[in-house]
Amino acid sequence: MASVRLQGITKQFDGNPVLKGIDLDIADGEFVVLVGPSGCGKSTLLRIVAGLEDAGQGSVEIGGRECRDVEPAKRGIAMVFQSYALYPHMTVAENMGFALKLAGQPRAEVQARVARAAAILQIGHLLERRPKALSGGQRQRVAIGRAIVRQPDVFLFDEPLSNLDAALRGQTRVELARLHRELGATMIYVTHDQVEAMTLGQRIVVLNGGRIEQAGTPLELYERPVNQFVAGFLGSPR
Ligand code: ADP
Ligand code: MG
């Protein structure tokens, strides 16, 4: 597990400021949800934490280590995206174990980790299937399984449920909460779904226009939104 500390993160694309100074401390094992309207910089911020994008200014610390010169694979993170391209020619087990195999993990270790992740996600009976024989929800679980087998300190989720229908989203939401309890890992979860934010987040961070409007527990944001924007996004009508 690891804490994550963001200090003064800025980012511009072609001269357009997208992140305008993000300061955020995330505790070891915390489940933090980032919410905000489309285009407000949520994915960019996650990609900066992952090391897939450089920040203009500011620093990312993971587990107390400044990460500017740490490549993505060495940051102890795993990311789950909205579009979870699985390798069509590989079985579920092969999809889940592929990155470990590439990293040179012994076969027995790969198999053990895949089996454990499959048990957590309740997809043990699907391990020999290929992606085309899976439902959307099952595919998304395989994508989460690929992240789990890497045993990251920090999970980064970018709208992982937005391609699922409402019933499946609800069910997978419950499973993600259980996953967090079982693994105890730090999780940073991006969504624009208010229900997901309120039910999953121990803390919710509301982004707007590249800045943090408010960060707090779901109850704090619901009862005491600091401004109209937060109230409109999550809070009670008042
Ligand atoms: P969100 O995930 O909150 O919807 P993003 O972080 O994807 O927002 O994008 C924030 C802004 O940055 C958007 O205006 C988007 O068009 C722009 N942007 C994101 N990535 C790039 C890129 N690689 N090049 C240029 N502009 C980008
Ligand atoms: Mg996004």
pLDDT for 216 equals 97
Query: In terms of DSSP bridges, do strands 57-62 and 31-35 run parallel, antiparallel, or are they unpaired?
Result: unpaired
Residues ≥6 apart with Cβ < 8 Å to 1: 28, 29, 153, 184, 185, 186
pLDDT for 81 equals 86
From the CA of 14, which ligand is nearest? 1
Q: Is 0.95 exceeded by the ipTM? A: yes
pLDDT for 229 equals 92
The residue whose C-alpha atom lies closest to atom 27 belonging to ligand 1 is 13
Q: Is 38 exposed, middle or buried (0-12, 13-18, 19+ CB in 10 A)?
A: exposed
pLDDT for 172 equals 86
Distance 175 CA to ligand 1 centre (A): 29
Task: List, chain by chain if needed, residues with CB within 6 Å of any ligand 1 atom.
Answer: 13, 18, 36, 38-44
Distance 110 CA to ligand 2 centre (A): 31
pLDDT for 163 equals 81
pLDDT for 74 equals 93
Alpha-carbon gap, residue 150 to 154, rounded angstroms? 10
pLDDT in tens, 162-221: 888 888 888 888 889 999 999 999 999 999 888 899 999 999 999 999 999 999 999 999
Q: Quick check: 143 and 115 in contact, CB under 8 A?
A: no
Distance 213 CA to ligand 2 centre (A): 18
Q: Quick check: 137 and 172 in contact, CB under 8 A?
A: yes
The segments of the chain whose pLDDT lies below 70 read 235-238
Give per-residue burial for 140-176: e unless 16+ CB within 10 Å, then b: bbbbbbbbbbbebbbbbbbbbbeebeeebbeebbeeb
pLDDT in tens, 152-161: 999 999 999 8
- Lookup result for tokens 């043990």: 124
pLDDT for 235 equals 57
Residues ≥6 apart with Cβ < 8 Å to 159: 81, 82, 190, 191, 192
